[in-house]
Amino acid sequence: MKDLIKLQGKLNWLSNAIVTGKPLLGELDMFLHQHRHQTWVTLPSNILILLQDWQLLIQQLHARPISVHELLPTSQPAYQGWADASTSWGAGEVWFRAAQPLLPIVWSIEWPPDIIEAIQHSRVSINTLELFTILAHHLVLEAAVPTATLHHASVAIWCDNTTAVAWANKLRSSSCHFAHRILRLLTMRLLKNQECPFTTTHITGEYNTSRTLHHANTPQNLMLFSPPSPFPFPPPQTSFWTLCQLPNATQQKLFSLLRPRPLAMESLLRLNLTDCVFGRIGKTSSTTLSHCTSPSFQTTHSQPDSPCWEPSLHLFGLANTNQQITKSPPKQSYWHCVPSPRPTCWMDNQTHWLTKKAKGTSFSNAKLRTTADMILPPNEK
């Protein structure tokens, strides 16, 4: 146990060099707290997996220095999108442009039979599925955009599950082993792409009408994006929807995160995203996919007929109401985002700490003067 505590201390010090690295030690911290009165302890499989993952993190740190631009979310996200999961069929959602141009992307995956069985027997919770969807959502974006656009940039993701939002923002879970594994892989993807921490924002389920975009039946899914009516989310005349399909091999690797014995992190880091299939759907095509090599990113915001259109109030369910979107726009995380109000050098404090303490307590001025006379040197009284 003493050796494990020493190792935890070294990793805790090392985590300062990793973007949002400290939360990744949550699983080890909980294990040490549960066995704090023992002298010897047998490491379970989840702790062994955690230590193996940290070996890969150390190798990534050794490969290149961490830029200061990767420490905090940017004030404006490069891309924005919705992520949603279902306990009955699968997961999926949509991506839109923000600061960077992007053709609107829609994607979906179906749960395999063993995952459906695990959901039915409560071995996998909806919170874990929502967090898994956020990871898959980010991988779709990695496959769709040039890697250079993600350098020193952050993205914004909406989700209607408060627990998954909290896990994604803190990169930590208090009890779920599946969540720990998903969050470590998500952190490694951020390190690989040299991204800033992304922002996950909660959106109420009743206002997230984009959650109705996906069905287990693929043709029925495409009908929502293709004429004739009803067509709930039509693109502008000069634009179209882009459908992304993750390769089956990539999906199977990701599904291992929801199984008792996940694949090694080295295998998960070698996800093949270049084989993703992109197809156009919309007014210029039928419900059959019209394959294209990759989404077009040559457009700029200055072009009046740019096909990179932004989400409308329909996706918030507020098109026919007077309610304003006050909580849904992405907000920059406050985690280590505000400089400390204290000066860099503590000797530069203009007000003595006793005076500050007296303002917040019931100390009288007489008692403060008496205390200062006893402690302070003559030149500081």
Domain segments of the chain: what residues?
2-66, 73-316, 347-380
Can you tell me which residue has the tokens 């992307």? 105
pLDDT digits (tens, 9 = 90+) for 287-305: 344 444 445 443 333 343 4
| pLDDT < 70 positions in the chain | 19-20, 22-23, 205-234, 236-238, 282-307, 312-381
Instruction: Return the DSSP state at 243.
Output: E
Q: What are phi and psi of 270, to 5 degrees?
A: -95, 40
Beta strand segments in the chain, E: 79-85, 90-97, 105-110, 156-159, 199-202, 241-245, 277-281, 290-292
User: Helices (H) and strands (E) in the chain — how many of each?
Assistant: 12, 8
Does the domain at residues 73-316 carry the CATH identifier 3.30.420.10? yes
Instruction: Please name the residue ranges forming H helices in 2-125.
Output: 2-14, 26-34, 45-63, 113-120
pLDDT digits (tens, 9 = 90+) for 38-90: 999 999 988 888 888 888 888 888 888 888 888 778 888 999 998 889 888 88
The two tokens of residue 81 are 């999108």
Give the whole-angstrom CA distance, residue 232 versus residue 320. Answer: 13
Radius of gyration in angstroms for the set of CA atoms belonging to the chain, rounded to a whole number: 25
